[in-house]
Amino acid sequence: MSLLSSSHASSSPSAAGNRADHLRRLFALTWRYRGGCFLTLLWEVGAEALALGAFIYSGLALDVLRHRALPDTTQEPRWPLGIAPSADGPLWQILSIAAGMVLLITLLRAYARYRTRLSSETLIQRITVDLRTALYDKLQRLGFSWFDTHDSGGLINRVTGDAGSVRLFIEGVVLQLIISTAALGLFLFYMFREHAWLTLAVITVFPIQAWVLIRYSRSIEPRLQSHRETLDRLIQTLQECIIGVKVIKGFGQEEQVKDRFGERNDDAYEARMKIVRTNASLLPWITTLANLQIAILLFYGGHLVYIGPAAGGIALGTLWVFFSLVRQLAGQVETIVSSAASIPESMVGANRVFELLDAPVEIAAPAQAHVPEEVRGRIEFDHVSFRYRAESPLVLEDVSFVVEPGETVALVGPAGSGKSTIFNLLCRFYDATDGRVLVDGVDVRQWDPGALRRAVSVVFQEPFLFSNTIANNVRFGVPDAPEDAVAQAVRDAVAEEFVAASRDGYQTIIGERGLTLSGGERQRLSIARAILPESPILLLDDAMASVDARTEVRIAANLGRIMRGRTTLIIAHRLSTLRRADRVLVVEQGCITAQGTHEQLMRDNEHYRKAALLQLDREREEESGELESQEALR
Amino acid sequence: MMRVGLTNLSAEQVLTAASPSDDAGERIRPFDWHLTRRIAGRMARYAALFWSILALAGVLAVLNGTIALLVAQTIGGAIEQRPESWRGRLGVDPQHWLSYGVAALVALALLWYVAMRIRQNAVAKLAERVVRDLRGEIFAHLQVLGMDFYDRTKVGRILARGTSDIDALRRALTEVAPRLTIALVQMIYAIAVMLAYDAVLGAVVLLGAPFVYLVNWRFRQLLSNSYRRVQETYSLLTANLAESIAGIRVTQAFTREERNSDMFRGICHLHRDRHLVVAKAQGLYLPLMDVTSQVFIAIALLVGGLRIASGDMTVTDLLAFMTMTGVFFQPIIVIGDMYNVVLQAMAGAERVFHLLDTAPAQLEPPPGENVDLPRRDEGMRIEFEGVTFGYQKDRPVLRDITFEARPGQTIALVGHTGSGKTSIINLIAKFYLHDAGRIALDGLDIRRISPRDLHAQTGIVQQENFLFTGSVLDNIRFARPEASDEQVREVCDALGCLDLIEDLHEGLQTQVGERGASLSLGQRQLICFARALMARPRLLILDEATSAVDTVSEHRVQQALSRLLEGRTSFVVAHRLSTIRSADRILVVDAGRIVEQGTHAQLLRDGQVYPKLHAEFVRLSEGQG
């Protein structure tokens, strides 16, 4: 739906100024491709000139024949460029020359048209690739907060559809207008030279055609709009009835939804028929007007042929050329009108493209970015406060803590207390609203973002994997990692069993069309992905929530070995994790309310002790359950 | 045939190796007799419309040819009048001949407009009606199809049947059939006129035509193949784009921005190269068609010229002949243009008919064995006896299930994901039929009960709390469309939540769905409860939501739930501790079997699996609270 309804027409007072600005930018963009434009234009105008040539020679042949048939009432035909064969030669010779010229010119014209198509397509593709890659580059660099406020469907459309409408502007509007105008100019130049009055009589039809087309596009627009709306509703109903099929069946309401869909279906039919009626009443006028134009040409032109060139008339061949040109021109008028009509649409698209290209990159590298030789892994939060959006409440409030290199620190607290936000700030996915986040004593805003993120490996709460092979997902952060390193990471994340069991092992493609993984399996692969780069700082955001307890113990043991001497921050619930941690930070409502070792907290903090004992209960039951089921298996 | 997915790019060179585009890779012929007959069958209903369109197409084709002919004749009559020709015998002054000719031309042009306008309306009417009928049929068939179909078919794919496939068909109906008719009649008319003027010249054109036609068709095939390759890279491109955006956080966390950009550039370049292949073919094709028709004009000039010199032909005849050549060749390009449209339409039609041909699962009782489910005041009695069931026959997901639910009892189903709880529910609601054993409702074999009959006495609450776009009122009334506003109010009141619903932004008229997605989870749940109660069910099936709501509404939801369950036989796939604890009986499902059953207290004391599950519930509910 976003394809149809995402036209955010801006109504700000500076809209007009913006439009002029955008138009200027579009022309500037076109100018960048002037070489390709010029080449296309050259071939196209050449092709049109050759078309004129072919018409002239076939008209000439007609004149030759007519002169031979009626030598008394007609004149000797006039050959173009003064190159004429001897008039007394045998007829077949003269005719062969004329016919040969028609063929030769047609072949040349075919070549010119081939080159036109090729150069215009090359141009279009250059523009498209440039725009798409520019947009994609930009998207890769925009910060998280930007993605928080933009929906992904719209973003995809910007790189595909909207980039297309910018291309359309250059190709359709700028180029096509120039080409059509040039062709029109060329043809009219010839026609005026041959007979100005006849030309004038013939071209009176063009403005009428243009008027019909403009009227058509005006009256069709609201109908298209209302058809789109009815169709949207139809699709929405269809979609809902597919998603909600269980509700429909469960209540036995098939007939009710059938009626509802029937109404929508009828609405769509009616809306469509309105479009069709407009089409049927206005569009045939274009062809009819072209036919009337030919009638004018015949009436006046036939008279001119009758009186003959000597008396101010024209030759039969010339009338033939006029006839052919008028048919050729009918298409040009339509092209000019429809490219002019497409300007607003491509402006809307261009608007959105420029908006994305202009979006500020909030997380940018400072001028003298900090890129250390070696990262020790000391983390410090210095009175940090944060809110995701200006109007939303603080998620972190005056948070201060230090994690020394090599320490393992667990963060505990209820959902929404701000634990994940601490990770987000540490990786500088967002900038702190107040206070400083320091890594190795340097403010993260002074770091080169790339260097910072290479120093920190994250396992997100949501284990997002790409629809690619298992191996490529694991080596996502280190694309050139050798296979044994990938295999080691997979072993450390205790994922080797299900990887080995997959059909193509490490080369198995996962995702919608490939292997479907369970939540725990996804988490283990994302852990493997995070430990492969051997970063000095590892962040685990509830990374083992879907992993069963025994596997978690195995992973934790491996992590203990791997992370020796490196800094680890873990968001977790399980007691074993809290016990293993050097220190536990209790996060509640955006504040750190307690910290210390697990033992200290158990001793001194009643709240913590209560929560831990409850957790202990659960784990005991869990373990006993597992033991029982193991025994049952035996 | 080509498969969707990687083409020329290895998995290392892209971000998304498998593109989620569907329905591709089928072998489609541009013409399929069987499909064409079925499409024609849909039009049979509108026979009058259909034949009038064909007749009008004939009229238009003849008009096209006649207009061209008239042009030549008018000039010819004006410039060369020989007494012995038929024009001469008419005895019209050449000066007037021109006026008459032009007047006739104007008349024909206006006639053409009228015919075209009527035809366009008729064509659209026919096509749109066929489309509307087909859409309605698809939807009706979707209502008949069982849950097995929905479980194995993706939403997007079903949607495409009613949208893009139908659109492809529409294009074929509005463009191909009528334009093809015009093209054919026009060609026949033109060749007949040409043969009448001059048999030799006509024969030249006629003999050359099949050659032109073959070249044209072959080119279209080539084009269509390379165009399909363009579409492949395009879906690869969009799939990569979509995943780049969805995975942007991972990308930035692992500083893959530049590599991703390189990959994307690679895909863009491949896409560009394939576009250029298409452009080259197109660039060759159109001028080639132009050259061929010009060759015939040149031949006509040469041969016709010599025949004029020998007195067998007049200049007017040649002129007419040349205009007719245009009339003859223009349709070939039109036919060529149809190739892709036809191809897509056939593919669309094939998929649409495939859907319509999908046989619904046999859930209705065998003829003659149908029994009516009695309507009583108490809840339904449900018995399972040694029931075995699998979504695929050879892979049972439920084995030897036996239990009994007495009228009015609340049965909680607990167990891990995939243990078979939902499958039990699916069997009770007769969304599927069991393979072995016996299921009895009120003592009647479920096989002998019509699903409609059962569903009329069932209330269902799904985990997702699915609501339709529309007002709260409409959503509650969904279960019983004839209910009055007052009855809806009564139902809400019976649940004890009328105040909460009337407190909504616009009360019962509050819109839900895309525009009004502002309802909280608790509010949505209450509306679903009300909807279920509206059905006055004797059997209630409830898949509890996993996510918790805020504490205040939680209390109200619990209260409403207990009122909803009262006096009905209820099956609850439970995710809430309180629901489990208050159930009359708990069925513990594990790996397709009922491993334990009893009350909460019994199971906690004597059970082996239940205490562990219970602990997990405790942990979950604490975590959420």
Q: Across chain A, how many H-helices and E-strands are there?
A: 26, 10
In B415-492, at which residue ranges do the beta strands (DSSP E only) sit?
Answer: 436-441, 444-445, 458-461, 470-471
> Cβ–Cβ contacts within 10 Å for residue A419, how many?
23
CB B16 within 8 A of CB B92: no
Nearest-angstrom CA–CA distance, B76 and B324: 14
Tens of pLDDT, residue by residue over A445-484, are 999 988 998 899 999 887 888 888 899 999 998 888 899 9
Residues 6+ apart with CB under 8 A from A88: none
Q: Is B593 left (phi over 0), alpha (psi -120 to 50) or beta?
A: beta
CB A230 within 8 A of CB A271: yes
Nearest-angstrom CA–CA distance, A207 and A330: 11
Pick from A207, A167, A166: nearest CA to A184: A207
| Chain B contact set for A466 (CB, 8 A) | 15-16, 243, 247, 250
Query: Predicted confidence band at B409 (pLDDT cuts at 50, 70, 90)?
Result: very high
Closest-approach residue (CA) in chain B for A477? B254
Pick from B479, B474, B463, B467: nearest CA to B537: B479
Closest-approach residue (CA) in chain B for A628? B608
pLDDT for res A602: 85
Does the CB of A253 have a partner CB in chain B at under 8 Å?
Answer: yes
Mean pLDDT for B481-497 is 90
Nearest-angstrom CA–CA distance, A258 and B463: 24
Nearest-angstrom CA–CA distance, A474 and A525: 7
| Chain A contact set for B136 (CB, 8 A) | 261-262, 265
Q: In this model, does residue A485 exceed pLDDT 90?
A: yes
| Chain A contact set for B274 (CB, 8 A) | none
CB contact under 8 A, B456 and A252: yes
Q: In this model, does residue B151 exceed pLDDT 70?
A: yes
Q: In this model, does residue A5 exceed pLDDT 70?
A: no
Query: Predicted confidence band at A1 (pLDDT cuts at 50, 70, 90)?
Result: very low
CB A52 within 8 A of CB A186: yes
In B436-495, alpha helices (H): 451-455, 472-477, 485-495
The amino acid occupying position A238 is: L
Tens of pLDDT, residue by residue over B227-282, are 888 888 888 888 888 888 888 888 888 888 888 888 899 999 999 999 899 888 88
CB contact under 8 A, B609 and A117: no
User: What DSSP string runs through A229-283?
Assistant: HHHHHHHHHHHHHHHTHHHHHHTT-HHHHHHHHHHHHHHHHHHHHHHHHHHHHHT
**Phi/psi of residue B543, each to 5°?**
-105, 105
**If residue A196 lies in a helix (H) or strand (E), which one and from where to where?**
helix A196-203
**Residue reference for tokens 């002019």:** A340
CB contact under 8 A, B456 and A628: no
Angle at B220 between CA B217 and CA B226, to 5 degrees: 150
CB contact under 8 A, A276 and B110: no
| Chain B contact set for A125 (CB, 8 A) | 272, 275-276
| Distance between A280 CA and the closest CA of chain B, angstroms | 5
**If residue A303 lies in a helix (H) or strand (E), which one and from where to where?**
helix A302-307
Q: In this model, does residue A557 exceed pLDDT 90?
A: no
Nearest-angstrom CA–CA distance, B268 and A131: 10
Tens of pLDDT, residue by residue over A19-61, are 788 888 888 888 888 898 899 989 988 999 998 998 898 888 8
Mean pLDDT for A613-630 is 58
| Chain A contact set for B315 (CB, 8 A) | 62, 65-66, 69, 316
User: What DSSP string runs through B576-589?
Assistant: -HHHHHH-SEEEEE
Does the CB of A93 have a partner CB in chain B at under 8 Å?
Answer: no
Rounded to a whole number of angstroms, the CA Rg of chain B reads 36
**Phi/psi of residue A397, each to 5°?**
-130, 110
Q: Which of A130, A140, A230, A523 to mutate to test the interface with B (most CBs of B within 10 A)?
A: A140
What proportion of chain B, given as a percentage, has pLDDT over 90? 17
Nearest-angstrom CA–CA distance, A355 and A350: 8
Nearest-angstrom CA–CA distance, A622 and B611: 9
Supply B529's token pair.
């409860």
Q: In this model, does residue A547 exceed pLDDT 80?
A: no
| Distance between A340 CA and the closest CA of chain B, angstroms | 25
| Chain A contact set for B124 (CB, 8 A) | 272-273, 276, 279-280
Q: Report CA-CA distances (Å) from A76 to A79, B82, B307.
A: 9, 21, 20
Q: In this model, does residue A515 exceed pLDDT 80?
A: no
Nearest-angstrom CA–CA distance, A353 and A202: 43
Q: In this model, does residue B88 exceed pLDDT 90?
A: no
Query: Predicted confidence band at A89 (pLDDT cuts at 50, 70, 90)?
Result: confident
Let me know if B86 is exposed, middle or buried by CB neighbors in 10 A (0-12, 13-18, 19+): exposed
Query: Predicted confidence band at B22 (pLDDT cuts at 50, 70, 90)?
Result: very low
CATH 3.40.50.300 domain locations along chain A: 379-633
In B247-314, alpha helices (H): 248-253, 257-309
| Chain B contact set for A116 (CB, 8 A) | 283
Q: Report CA-CA distances (Å) from B272 to A131, A357, B350.
A: 13, 22, 31
CB B296 within 8 A of CB B204: yes
pLDDT top residue among B593 and B342: B593
- 3-state DSSP assignment of residue B458: strand
Q: Report CA-CA distances (Å) from B220 to B170, B287, B328.
A: 21, 14, 19
What proportion of chain B, given as a percentage, has pLDDT over 70? 89
What CATH code would you report for A379-633? 3.40.50.300
Nearest to B124 among A100, A110, A276 (CB): A276
Q: In this model, does residue B402 exceed pLDDT 90?
A: yes
| Distance between A89 CA and the closest CA of chain B, angstroms | 13
CB contact under 8 A, A64 and B143: no
CB contact under 8 A, A298 and B74: yes
CATH 1.20.1560.10 domain locations along chain A: 19-195+314-358
Q: Which of A52, A123, A136 to mutate to test the interface with B (most CBs of B within 10 A)?
A: A136
Mean pLDDT of chain A: 84
Closest-approach residue (CA) in chain A for B315? A66
Mean pLDDT for B433-442 is 92
> Cβ–Cβ contacts within 10 Å for residue A13, how many?
7
CA B558 to chain CA mean position, Å: 40
| Distance between B498 CA and the closest CA of chain A, angstroms | 22
CA dihedral of residues B576, B579, B582, B584 (deg, nearest 10): -120
Supply A177's token pair.
């207008």
User: What DSSP string runs through B58-71?
Assistant: HHHHHHHHHHHHHH
Return the CATH class of domain B468-536: alpha beta
- 3-state DSSP assignment of residue B471: strand
Greatest alpha-carbon pair distance for chain B in Å reads 121
Return the CATH class of domain B31-357: mainly alpha
Which span out of A166-170, A300-304, B327-331 was modeled with the highest average pLDDT?
A300-304
Q: Which of B19, B123, B252 to mutate to test the interface with A (most CBs of A within 10 A)?
A: B252
| Distance between B36 CA and the closest CA of chain A, angstroms | 23
Residues 6+ apart with CB under 8 A from B47: none
Domain ranges of chain B: 31-357, 468-536
Which span out of A592-601, B167-176, B607-616 was modeled with the highest average pLDDT?
A592-601
Query: Predicted confidence band at B517 (pLDDT cuts at 50, 70, 90)?
Result: low
Nearest-angstrom CA–CA distance, A210 and A334: 7
CB A494 within 8 A of CB A554: yes
Q: In this model, does residue B154 exceed pLDDT 90?
A: no
The amino acid occupying position B472 is: V
> Cβ–Cβ contacts within 10 Å for residue A214, how many?
13
Tens of pLDDT, residue by residue over A338-368, are 777 777 777 878 888 888 888 888 877 888 8
Q: In this model, does residue B618 exceed pLDDT 80?
A: no
Is the domain covering A19-195+314-358 a CATH 1.20.1560.10 domain? Answer: yes
For chain A, the residue count is 634
Supply B394's token pair.
């050879």
Nearest-angstrom CA–CA distance, A120 and B561: 67
CB contact under 8 A, B319 and A62: yes
| Chain A contact set for B246 (CB, 8 A) | 152, 464
The amino acid occupying position A50 is: L
A-B interface: how many C-beta pairs under 8 angstroms? 420
CB A350 within 8 A of CB A427: no
Pick from B260, B265, B254: nearest CA to A134: B265
Supply B508's token pair.
């019962």
Closest-approach residue (CA) in chain A for B123? A276
CB contact under 8 A, B155 and A242: yes
CB contact under 8 A, B244 and A252: no
pLDDT for res A270: 93
Does the CB of A61 have a partner CB in chain B at under 8 Å?
Answer: yes
Q: In what order do the strands lie in the sheet with B458-461?
A: B458-461, B539-543, B569-573, B410-414, B585-590, B593-598
Q: In this model, does residue B28 exceed pLDDT 70?
A: no
CA dihedral of residues A533, A539, A545, A547 (deg, nearest 10): 30
Q: In this model, does residue B389 exceed pLDDT 90?
A: yes
Mean pLDDT of chain B: 82
Nearest-angstrom CA–CA distance, B446 and B373: 10
Pick from A416, A421, A442: nearest CA to A431: A421
Pick from B235, B265, B9: nearest CA to A128: B265
Nearest-angstrom CA–CA distance, A42 and A58: 25
CB contact under 8 A, A316 and B79: yes
pLDDT for res B487: 92
Nearest-angstrom CA–CA distance, B254 and B240: 17
CB contact under 8 A, A247 and B460: yes
